[in-house]
Amino acid sequence: MDFNIRKAVSNDMIHVYGMIKELAEFENMPNGPQIDEKKLIEDGFESENPIFKCFVAECTDSKIVVGYAIYFPIYSTWEGRALFLEDLYVKPEYRKHHIGLKLIKAVAKQALSENCKRLDLHVLSWNPAMKFYEKLNAVNLTKSEDWNFVRFGTDAIAKLAE
């Protein structure tokens, strides 16, 4: 089986959305996604300044989309430009074909082309993908620098904005 990594187009979002739901199931958060493929198209392809970018992995022969990587620019006051990898997902039946590696390499090449100094991401503590990232020389900041991931949700944002 051969796979192609390419920049996503709006028509890919129906497949990406399906995989987002699969990822949510895997992470034991089936009610997590609050968006749909229309929102993905709007935010990533129809706005003047797209909020995210995406690579997809597709089977060369069948053109079936089997994985994706969603990322977006962030900024570090210590190092400057950076990218954040929101999701990296490959359908279970297509794993072990190095598709995840190809996807993260595509994002890394994009980071280099944008003069980024970092590529950040979050991984659940129990997710075996952490070993994959560590093999690629990622540093677990929870262990090395004792950083905590903190979030203000919709209600907290509204309260802060009062």
Residues in the chain: 162
With a cut of 80, say whether residue 75 has pLDDT above it. Answer: yes
Q: Please write the tens of the pLDDT for every residue from 48-61.
A: 999 999 999 999 88
Domains assigned to the chain: 3-121 (3.40.630.30)
Considering 17, 68, 89, 133, which one is annotated as catalytic?
A: 133
Q: Could you report the per-residue pLDDT of 89-123, keeping only the tens digit for each? A: 999 999 999 999 999 999 999 999 999 999 999 99
Cα(24)–Cα(18) distance, integer angstroms = 10
What beta strand segments (E) does the chain contain? Answer: 3-7, 53-59, 65-76, 80-90, 118-121
Q: Does the pLDDT value for residue 130 go beyond 80?
A: yes
With beta carbons less than 8 A apart as the criterion, state whether 132 and 105 touch.
no
- Sheet containing strand 118-121, edge to edge, reads 3-7, 53-59, 65-76, 80-90, 118-121
Is residue 153 scored above 90 in pLDDT? no
Is 71 a residue of the active site?
no
The residue with tokens 């190092």 is: 79
A 10 A CB-CB count for 58 gives 20
41: tokens are: 């198209």
Helix residue spans in 49-88 (DSSP H): none
CA angle 62, 63, 65 (to 5 degrees): 120
- Report d(CA 140, CA 131) in Å as an integer: 10
With CA atoms as reference, report the closest residue to 110 among 49, 54, 65.
54
